[in-house]
Amino acid sequence: MSLQELDNSTISVLLIEDSRACALAINSMLRNSSVVAATAYTLADGLLKLAEQEFDAILLDLTLTDSRGLDTLVAVRNCVPHIPIVVLTALDEAEEAIALGAQEYLLKEEVTPTILLRAISRSRARMKSRSAESERLKLYEEREDFMATLTHDLKNPIIGSNRILDLMVQQKLGSLSEQQSEILTAIKCSNDVLLEMISNFLDVYRNEKDMFDLSLEIIDMRVVVARHLKAIQPLIEDKGINLEVDLVPDEVPIRGDRTSILRVLDNLVGNAVKFVGEGGSIFIRLEKQDLKEMLLQVSDTGPGIPKDEQGHVFKRFWRSNRTRSSSSGTGLGLYLCQQIVEAHRGSISCEAEESKGTTFTVRLPLAA
């Protein structure tokens, strides 16, 4: 609300000030404006008036006979969290007052009618903006909760249909022609992609709601990586991709959540497989560094990432403009990887060169 708008409407203000001289001066400054002020000379009287009447703003002296300092502000803010407060304070308390919920502050010796009216106007505008932002966040959280519930409910039917497809592809429910088997396999692969997207979304939701509990244990990353690569070897061979692996020969122990760490590995290797064409290469390297941390690198010879996009790869819902139309995904995989790695007190980074490939590097502390 501008000063002009303030002049055109009646604004009710409660002044809480123990100095009758200061209260008289402030009321005098407001006399020719459309601000109607009521005065309370103690905190107790002010809280009583706030309980009896609704005000558009509060002018609050922090030093009263029955309350002193920032405790005065906290008491008023707790009583009326929705009303903007302009504190009359010393400069050294101003920053803390704003942090504790005041919208504006004024130094008594600098108050003029114009400054006072402007402070009231700004405090109301800031409170209105804060309320709108709070409502926006509430609606956003409700939408996220709805999407998470809906997504979770979609997961079980897809898992059930995949089990049936497995039985059909394995011809345990009757013989199939080669063409029928290929079609059912393609449907199952599509379901697998959808399940991965659902799992990523649910894990991100749980992480951001602080529901993402890590079950920590000592795990050998060498074994985890070797087993995962063995499991996806048929897929890599089927796509005509060359896989080169360099694993440290001895144990690489970390303290981590096995399922979460496997999700990171699956996302990084899965991305490499997705973007490397036939005849391309994927390089996996696992080593120890200074007996303090583990280094895992997943490199590929895919299309790389444009330089202007490289700073966004770990952002929520980010997808490259070059691959947006040609690949499936929600843009949550790398975001989730970063959340998991950082939850394990590690780091993840990306180096890419357009048209020459991408390298993701994960560093995690070794277990003692």
Looking at residue 367, the DSSP 8-state letter turns out to be: P
Dig out the tokens for 364 from the structure. Answer: 């995690």
pLDDT in tens, the chain (368 residues): 444 444 456 889 999 999 999 999 988 898 878 888 999 999 999 999 999 999 999 999 988 999 988 889 999 999 998 899 999 876 567 778 888 888 888 887 778 888 888 888 888 888 887 776 666 777 767 766 666 676 667 777 888 888 888 888 888 888 888 888 889 888 888 888 788 777 777 777 766 665 456 788 999 999 999 999 998 888 898 889 999 999 998 999 999 999 889 989 988 998 898 888 888 999 999 999 888 999 999 999 988 888 888 888 888 777 766 554 445 556 778 888 998 899 899 999 999 887 788 999 999 999 97
CA distances from 28 to 7, 174, 242 (A): 16, 94, 84
Q: Which CATH superfamily is domain 216-365 in?
A: Histidine kinase-like ATPase, C-terminal domain (3.30.565.10)
CA 223 to chain centre: 32
- Those residues whose C-beta lies under 8 Å from the C-beta of residue 15, and which sit 6 or more positions away, are 23, 26, 27, 37, 38, 39, 40, 58, 59
Domain map of the chain by residue range?
3-135, 216-365
Instruction: For residues 227 and 364, give the distance between their C-alpha atoms in angstroms, rounded to a whole number.
Output: 19
What secondary structure does DSSP assign to 251-287, as a single string? --EEEEEHHHHHHHHHHHHHHHHHH--TT-EEEEEEE
Closest CA to 199 of 137, 262, 276: 262
Looking at residue 368, the DSSP 8-state letter turns out to be: -
With vertex at residue 179, the alpha carbon angle to CA 177 and CA 184, rounded to the nearest 5 degrees, is: 95
Q: How many other CB atoms sit within 10 Å of the CB of residue 325?
A: 7
- Number of residues that this document lists for the chain: 368
3-135: CATH architecture = 3-Layer(aba) Sandwich (3.40)
8 A C-beta contact, residue 181 and residue 166: no
- Those residues whose C-beta lies under 8 Å from the C-beta of residue 221, and which sit 6 or more positions away, are 252, 253, 254, 261, 286, 294, 296, 364
